[in-house]
Amino acid sequence: MKFVNRCRSTKFKQAEGFTLIEIIIVMTVIAILLAAVIPAFQGMQEEGDLSKVEAELQTIKTAVISYRRHNGSYPADIAGTLTGSSPKILVEIAEDPFTTDTSTTPDTYGYITGTDASFGDYFIIYSRGIDLSADTAWSGANDRVEIAAGGDDMVVSNAEVANL
């Protein structure tokens, strides 16, 4: 007579889940994908910031010119004067993503005014750009705004702007 085991099967059930090797392979693939994608997103963020700066500099330039039409001179600063003038020219000053002027809250764009003997009154509104160094200056010899060689400042002015 044969003995039949009517209890449970003697086969062991295989544990469900992932092995350590499978998890390591998946994590490696994810890391490789992230290494390829993250720099692309950072580049897109910088492009977005540059586009934002271009638009905001034009808006502030228009506000400075409007202020001069109403008051006869350029504003002393762009943060407080343009938002507090009468008539109100700007509701609020835009924040520079490259934090050019940290003396204001929020950090705003750089602003320079002056009078040149041959050019007259001038203004310069600028952002330091991605390299975060100010490379913009007035050149009285050339009656223009000059951006130093290799500089990436973004600039608007009532004068000519030249990249050296």
Decide: pTM greater than 0.85: no
Each residue's pLDDT tens digit, 146-158: 999 988 999 999 9
pLDDT attached to residue 157: 96
Q: Got the DSSP string for the chain?
A: ------SS-SSPPPPPS--HHHHHHHHHHHHHHHHHHHHHHHHHHHHHHHHHHHHHHHHHHHHHHHHHHHHSS--S-SSSHHHHSSS---SSPPPPTT--BTTSSS-B-EEEEEEETTTEEEEEEEE-TTTT---EEEETTTTEEEE-TT---EEEESSEEEE-
